[in-house]
Structure 1
Amino acid sequence: MVARVGVPGNGAGAAPGRLQSMWSCGGRRRRRLFAGAFLLVLAIVVLSRYVPWNLHEEVRGKFDFRGNLDLRAFLRTAEEVGLWVILRPGPYICSEWDLGGLPSWLLQDPEMQLRTTYKGFTEAVDDYFDRLMREVVHLQYKNGGPIIAIQVENEYGSYAEDPDYMMYIKQALLKRKIVELLMTSDNKDGLAAGFVSGALATVNFQKMDPGILSYLDTMQDNMPKMVMEYWTGWFDSWGGPHNVFDADEMMANIEKAIKAGASINLYMFHGGTNFGFMNGALHFDEYKATITSYDYDAVLTESGDYTSKFFKLRELFMSLADMPRPLPPIILNKASYGAILMQQYISLWEVLPSLVEPLKSEHPINMENLPVNNGNGQAFGYILYETVIPGGGELQSHDHVRDRAQVFLNTLHIGYLDYVKHQLSIPDGQGYRQLRLLVENRGRVNYGRNLNNQRKGLIGDIYLNKTALRNFKIYSLDMKPSFIESLRGTTPWSAVPDSAMGPAFFRGTLQVQHMPQDTFLKLEGWSKGVVFVNGQNLGRYWKIGPQGTLYLPATWLQQGHNEIIIFEERAAGRIIQSTDLPFLGRSQYVG
C-alpha cells in the first residue's frame, strides 16, 4: 500500500510560537519550509498544526490572530502549496510548551482544575473556541478549505482526571460547526482513557511495539490505523545531554508501521525554537525545564537545514510512490558575523526605580495573581521581591520558590534557592538591610498531572529564623517588548566594567553589511540569562548546557546596525560570537 505521511510544520507539533521566525520571514522562508515538507509526497501530504491558546489570548477576552499569530494566513499558505491540514486546536496541546499551551491567567482561580469540566475552565474554553473557530470553520474541506481532520484535545489518556471531559470537548467542536473527521491522540498506555466515541483513535510512539497497532484495532473495529505522532527525535532539558535518535532505527520503525498498513505523521518534521519564554518543563521526581532549542533531532534542523533523516525518508517514500527522480536540494545559507563586543552596561539595581513601579504587599504574591497586565497577572519572565530584615540567620523557603531565586543583601549576591536548595545562611550585619529575591519563572510544566500547581514566583511564605517575612515591594519584570523599549530610554548606560556582574543589562551592536542571513549566537563566558535582538526575545541561555548557541533567524536582522541586549543574571562576558554553525551539546542516543 501507499502510506500517507503527515508533516508537522514546526516545533512540538507545530505550535505557532516556535514558527515565529519562520512565519515572519515572508514568502522566501515560508516556501522553503513548505517545500521541505512537499518533498515527502506520497498519496497525500498533510500538515499537522497545533494552536497555542496562551499566545492567542494572552489577556482574557482579547484575542490576537495578527502577524506571527495569523493562523488563517498560515493555513491558506499550506493550501497554496498543496498540503492538507490536521488541525489540533487543544485547548491543551502539550508540545513541551509552557503549561501545554494553556494561558497562565487560568491559575488566578485558586480552585482551578485544568483539563476537566470544572466550570471556571469550561467557561474559558467556550469563549476561546467561540473566537478560534471563526478563524478555521470556513477552511474545512467540506467548505472548500485544506482542513481534513480536527483533533479532540491531546493525549488526554495520560491525564484522565475527568471521564466527562473528552465528550465535552467533542461537543464543543461540533456545536461550533466542525464537520470534518475527529481524532484523538495517545500513547499506548493512554489509548483506553483518551478515547471518545465518534472520533478516530490514533497512537503515538517512537519504537514499533509489535502489538501496538493490533491493540489500536481492539479500540475500534475496521477503522484506519494511524500513528499521529511518530517521534523522530526527542527534546532536551537544561543540565542534561542533547538527545538524538538513530536515523537507521527511525527508518526501520517507519517501514514497519507502513508495512502494517498505518498512516504516519512525523513528529517532528521540523523542530524549531522555543523563542522567548515559551518553553515548558517536566516535573516528576525532579523539575526539568526544556531548553530554548527545540531542534528535537528532527528531519529538518532547528534552522531548517536537511539532515540524513530527510534524505533517507525521501528515498523510502519515493520508492513506495514510484516517483521519477530526486528533487534538487534547497540550500539554506548561514552567516558568521564574527565577534560582537558588548559596549554598554546598566545594573538592574540602577535602572529599577525608573523602569518599574513596585507593588506593595504584606505577603508575597505569586506571579499569576499580581495586579498587572489588565488584571491578568504576569505570565513570564522574572519577579523581584524586596523586604527589610534585621540581622542575619537562616533563610528557609519551605519549597515556595518557583522556580529559581537569586538572593541578595542590598546588592550583594549571597546565593540561590530552588526546588532542591531550600535554606540559605544570611550573614549577620548591623541595622536593617534589604533582602532581595530575584525569582525566575523557568517554564511551566506541560505534561503530567501537575498542571494545576504551576503558579510561579513566591507561592507562599518564606522565613527568616522561623519567622515569616512581611511587607514586600514586588517588581514585575516580564521583559516584554514594551519592557525592553522602556529600558532603551532609561538613564545613560555606562561602559562595561572590567569584571561586570549581574543582574544587569548589556548592549552591543551586530553589523550586517549585506542581505541578512540566519546565524547562531554563542555566549561563551556568560553564565545565565536572556538575549534580545532588535527587541525580539531569542530565549534563554545557561552555561550548564547542553545548548551552546541560540538560533537567530535572518528575519529578525536588518542591514546595518542590529541592537543586541543581554540580561545576565550573574557573571558576564565581554563578547558574544556570531557563528554559522549551531552547537546543541554532547549527544546521547535515546530509545
Structure 2
Amino acid sequence: MRREQRRRLGAFLLLLLGVVLLRRYNWIEFIPFKMWNRGIGLQAGESMFELEGRPFRIFGGSMHYFRVPRDYWRDRMLKMKACGLNTLTTYVAWNLHEPTRGKFDFSGNLDIEAFVKMAADIGLWVIMRPGPYICAEWDLGGLPSWLLRDKNMQLRTTYKGFTEATDGFFDKLIPKLAHLQYQKGGPIIAVQVENEYGSYAKDPNYLDYVKTALLKRGIVELLVTSDNKDGLSSGSLEGVLATINFQKLEPVLFSYLDTIQTKKPKMVMEYWTGWFDQWGSDHHVFDADMVVETVQEILKSGASINLYMFHGGTNFGFMNGALHFIEYKADVTSYDYDAPLTEAGDYTSKYYKLRDLFSKFIEEPLPIPPSVMTKGSYGMVQIKQYVSLWDVLQSTEEPFKTVEPINMENLSVNDDNGQSYGYTLYETVIFGGGQFHSQGNIRDRAQVFVSNQLVGSIDFQNLELNIAEVPGYRKLRILIENCGRVNYGPKLNNQRKGMVGDVLLRSAPLRNFKIYSLDMKKSFIESLQVAQWNDVPDEPEGPAFFRGTLRVGFMPLDTFLKLEGWEKGVIFVNGQNLGRYWNIGPQSTLYLPGTWLHPGENEIIIFEQYRAGRLLQSMDVPLLGKTLYVD
C-alpha cells in the first residue's frame, strides 16, 4: 500500500514540476485545456471577471477563420499569443455554412471545431460570436441570401420565417460548439447574443429569442451583448453582460455603461484598431501611438479588452459587405483593417508596441514571436488567351424565360435557393431606341449593351442613359453585378440584387427576358476549360475571360497580384476566387496566399468587365492605396 502511495505521490510531483516548467518557459500553450479541473466558468463579478473563482482579465483579439486560409490559422494564433493576448474572438458566417437551405458545410476552411481546438492547443481562450447576424463588413452581415426569397422576410426579428431558419442553423452549429465550452473541458469562455442589436432594435422580443435559442441548445457559459454607445440602451438584456464597442475612449463611455448595469466588470468587446476601406475612397490608417495610448487607458481603468481586428484577413470571393446610408458604397476585397497583423499576417508597428504594453500587465515573459513568412515576386504574367462572355453563354445552363424581371435571389437555381453572388445577365429585344431608365431597380451596377456594343453603365447615382434610335429590332443585354450586400444599417431587408423591378425604355417597362445566372462558382470557372479560347486581340475589351499562367518555384510563397491597365472585374487562381479589383482604388493589388499555389504552372483566369490589360504583375508587397488617417 505504501509503495502505491509513493508511486502516486511521485507521479503527482512529477506532473507538478512539469506544469511549473511549462509555465516558466511559456510552454503552457501546449497543455490541452481538458487537463485542467473544470468547475465554474467565467463569471462577471462586481468589479472584475473571475475564472474558477480567481481574478481574470481578458486580453482578446479578433480573427475570423473564414477570412484566413486554414493553413495559416496556427501562425496567426501563435502571433496572437506572442503579443500577450489570452483570448481569441471570432464571428460565425452563417451564409458560408448554409449556402443552400438545409445543406451545411463545416469542412476545410469552415471547420470551426478545428479552429476552436487549435486555439485551445495554443493556449487561447475563445469568445464565440455566432450571430445569427454578425455585421463584420461581410455580405448581408453573414445572413444567407436565400432568406430574401421570402418577399415578407423581416431579418433580425421574431418573424416566423427568420426564426425557423435561425433554429435550423443553430441546430447544426451549436452542438459543434457546446462540447468545446469551458465547463465541458474546452476553451470557449463566453458566447455573444447576436451583434450590435441596439443599433437596429426592430423587435423588443428578438434578443430574448436568441438568448433562449442558445441556452436550450446547451450553451452554459457567460452570455454577453455587444453595442456601441448609441445602441447600449436598446441592446442590453437581463441576465446578459453588456459590453461596449468604440475606437476613441471618451470619459462618459464607461460611466454610461454603469447606468446600463451596475457593479459589473467593464469589457470593450470591440476596440477598433483601424478601419475598413471602400471602393473609391482612401486606405484608412489609425495612428499606432494613438492605439497604444487608448489601449493603455482601457487597461489602467481595469477593463478587459478585445482588439477588433487583431488580424483582418481578406474578403475572398464575393463576400465583401457594403454600407448604404446617403449613398451605396461597397467594401474592398482587402480586410487588412490596418490591424496589428497585416492582411498577409506580417507584423506592424502596432503589433510590437501593443506587445510591449501587454507585457507590462502579464507576469510571465511572452513567447518569442514566430518568424515572418517570406513573400514572393514572380514577375510579369503575360495574358495570352481570351474568350468573350457572349461566346461562353452558349455553354452555360439554359436561361430562364420570364415576362417580367426576377431578382437573382428568386431565380430557380442552386437547388431552388436562388443565386447568391456574382453577375446576372438580363436579355430582351427592343425596337428602336430612346431613353433607358432603371428607376433605381438595378442592384448594384450594370453594363448596358445593344447588339453587343456597350452603351453605358447604370448604378445608384446614374439611373438613365440614351440608346441611339436605329430602325429595327435589336438585342438588349443588361449585365448586372451584385457588388456586395449591405451589412449594417436600416436597409438590411432591402438587399435583393439583380433587377428588382421594372426598367423602362421610352417610359414603358421592358418585358420578355432571358435571364442567365452567372454565379462564377468554382464549377463555373472549371467549365471554361472546354470553351473556345482565342489569342488576345490588340485592344482587348470585356466582358470577357482572360487566361494566363503564373510559374512558381519549388516552394510557393505568398504574393500580391497587380492588375495595371485593367479596369474592373474578378480574378481566379487555380479556381480560387481572390476577389474583386477596380481601378478606382484604393487597393491596386490582390493578396494571393502561397498555400493556394503549387510548384510549376498555376492557371490565372480574369473576368474583366470593361477594358483589359495585357500583363499581370506578381509582387512581394501589397499596394493598398493612398492613406487617410482616421481621427
The equivalent of 1:180 in structure 2 is: 221
Of the candidates 542, 545, 555, which is equivalent to residue 582 of structure 2?
542
Indicate if the aligned counterparts of 1:276 and 1:538 stay in contact, CA closer than 8 A. Answer: yes
Instruction: Give, in whole Å, the separation in 2 of the partners of 1:322 and 1:47.
Output: 20
State the secondary structure of the residue aligned to 1:268: strand
Deviations 1:454-507 (A, max 9, x none): 0000000001001110000000000000100111122x2001111010000000
Match of 2:622 among 570, 582, 586: 582
Aligned counterpart for 1:5 among listed residues 59, 64, 67: 59
Letter in 2 for 1:564: I
Identify the match of residue 180 of structure 2 among 114, 126, 139: 139
Distance in 2 of aligned mates of 1:571 and 1:342: 13
**Deviations for 1:152-201, whole angstroms, at most 9, x for unmatched residues?**
00000010000000001000101101100000000011001000111110
Q: Is the 8 A contact 1:32 1:330 kept in 2?
A: no
Instruction: Compare CA radii of gyration and give the structure with the larger one.
Output: 2
Counterpart Cα distance in 1 of 2:395 and 2:158 = 45
Structure 2 match to 1:195: 236
Partner of 1:413: 454
For 1:18, the aligned partner's letter is R
Given that 1:17 and 1:278 are in contact with CA atoms closer than 8 Å, whether structure 2 keeps it comes out as no
Distance 2:428 2:562 in 1: 37
Q: 1:65, CA displacement in angstroms?
A: 0.5
1:99 alignment counterpart: 140
CA distance in 1 between counterparts of 2:392 and 2:375 reads 36
Supply the distance in 2 between the matched residues of 1:250 and 1:145 (Cα, whole angstroms). 32
Give the match for residue 88 of structure 2.
Answer: 47
- Is this contact kept in 1: 2:83–2:366, CA < 8 A? no
- Using the alignment, how far apart are the partners of 2:167 and 2:284 within structure 1? 38
Pairwise mapping of residues 64-463 of structure 1 onto structure 2 (< 5 A)?
Answer: 64-324=105-365, 327-463=368-504
Q: For residue 17 of structure 1, what is the aligned residue in structure 2? A: 66
Aligned to 2:526: 485
Equivalenced residue count is 577
2:609 to 569, 573, 588: 569
Separation of aligned partners in 1, 2:604 and 2:154: 41
| Greater CA drift, 559-568 or 214-223 | 214-223
**Which TM-score applies when normalising by structure 2?**
0.90
Alignment of 1:498-577 (within 5 A): 498-577=538-617
Give, in whole Å, the separation in 1 of the partners of 2:593 and 2:192. Answer: 31
CA contact (8 A) 1:2 1:320 kept: no
- C-alpha distance in structure 2 between counterparts of 1:397 and 1:89, whole Å: 38
Q: CA deviation at 1:513?
A: 1.6
The SS at the match of 2:546 is: strand
Consecutive unaligned residues in structure 2, runs of 5 or more: 1-54
Amino acid at match of 1:575: L
Distance of 2:567 and 2:372 partners within structure 1:
34
Deviation at 1:327, TM superposition (A): 2.2
Task: Give the aligned CA root-mean-square deviation in angstroms.
Answer: 1.1
Q: Percent identity?
A: 63
Structure 1 residue 68, shift from structure 2 partner: 0.9
Amino acid at match of 2:554: H
Post-superposition offset of 1:8 = 1.3
2:83, 2:352 within 8 Å by CA — same for their partners in 1? no
CA contact (8 A) 1:546 1:585 kept: yes
- 329-338 or 233-242, which deviates more: 329-338
Structure 1: gaps (5+ residues): none
Q: Which letter maps to 1:6?
A: G
What whole-Å deviation, never above 9, does each CA across 1:115-150 have from its counterpart, x for those lacking one?
000011001011111111121111111111111100
The 1:315–1:108 alpha-carbon spacing in structure 2 relative to 1, beyond 3 Å, is same
Q: Distance in 2 between matches of 1:252 and 1:386?
A: 57
> With structure 1 as the length reference, what TM-score do the two structures score?
0.96
- Alpha-carbon distance between aligned partners in 2 of 1:325 and 1:279, rounded to the nearest angstrom: 35
> Are 1:31 and 2:74 an aligned pair?
yes
Cα distance, 1:322 vs structure 2: 4.3
Distance in 2 separating the partners of 1:305 and 1:392: 55
CA distance in 1, matches of 2:158, 2:73: 38
2:369, 2:259 → 1: CA distance?
43
Tell me, in whole angstroms, the C-alpha distance in 2 between the residues paired with 1:3 and 1:118: 38
